Structure 1
Amino acid sequence: MSWALLALAIAAEVAATLALRALADPQRRRRRTWITVVVVGYVASFALLGAVLAAGLPVGTVYAVWAAIGVAATAVLGRVLFRDRLTRMAVLGIVVIILGVALLELGTSV
């Protein structure tokens, strides 16, 4: 259950960040809608993170997974939705972040 809550927290944070990007685009309309998505998304994300931590998952693991998947998903979806640049170096950076989280997990289980 904790991992499902963490997945929801990540989804809410990514949605809020993408809405923040949409809000910054002068060609997009419905500013109030985007502002609402940003605020609700971030509040939901942090509330869900709190629930995950209260359920007993270690803070280092939770934050590492949340940040790594959030960064990767935001970069890829930014490319898809907004045509943001995603260079080979950026992809390498995402891979390094994910490997770092995996190493963190391996280091805590040994």
Structure 2
Amino acid sequence: MAAYMLLAGAIVLEVIGTTALKLSEGFTRPWPSALVVGSYLLAFAALGQVLKLGMPVGVAYAIWAAFGIALIATVGVVFFKEQLTMPMVMGLGLVIGGVVLLELGRAPR
């Protein structure tokens, strides 16, 4: 359970960093730029701990990527008024579905 909590924290930090990346305007704004670097450093440190706790790298990265994509797409729509089309929603669903299948596939039989 600790690995999943750390992974959730890593995902949130990555989303914060990616959001700050948008706000940094190409690293021309100092505070958002510092937030990018700090958030990514902490996110990767947390991901490293997740792997140290024994979560398989493929599963950890799949969860990281899928939920990071879904969350940052949501941030884009809510805060930056970006468009989200039905094919994009379907793609997000497929990515998340793939992660669920990876998790189910590693469960003991």
In the superposition, the TM-score normalised over structure 1's length comes to 0.90
Deviates more, 1:100-109 or 1:34-43: 100-109
What's the counterpart of residue 11 of structure 1?
A: 12
**Superposition map of 1:18-29 within 5 A:** 18-24=19-25
Structure 2 portions without partners, runs of 5+: none
CA distances 1:19-69 after superposition (whole Å, capped 9, x unpaired): 1111228xxxx8111001100011111000000100111111111111100
**What is the number of equivalent residue pairs in this alignment?**
106
Q: Partners of 1:35 and 1:74 in 2: how far apart?
A: 17
Structure 1 portions without partners, runs of 5+: none
Paired AA for residue 24 in structure 1: E
What's the counterpart of residue 106 of structure 2?
A: 108
User: Are 1:45 and 2:43 counterparts?
Assistant: yes
**Superposition map of 1:31-70 within 5 A:** 31-70=29-68
SS of the aligned residue for 2:83 comes to: coil
User: Are 1:87 and 2:88 counterparts?
Assistant: no
SS of the aligned residue for 1:24 comes to: coil
Identity %: 44
Paired AA for residue 37 in structure 2: V
Q: Partners of 1:5 and 1:108 in 2: how far apart?
A: 19
Supply the RMSD in Å over aligned alpha carbons.
1.4
In the superposition, the TM-score normalised over structure 2's length comes to 0.91
Paired AA for residue 97 in structure 2: L
Q: Partners of 2:90 and 2:25 in 1: how far apart?
A: 27
Paired AA for residue 7 in structure 2: L
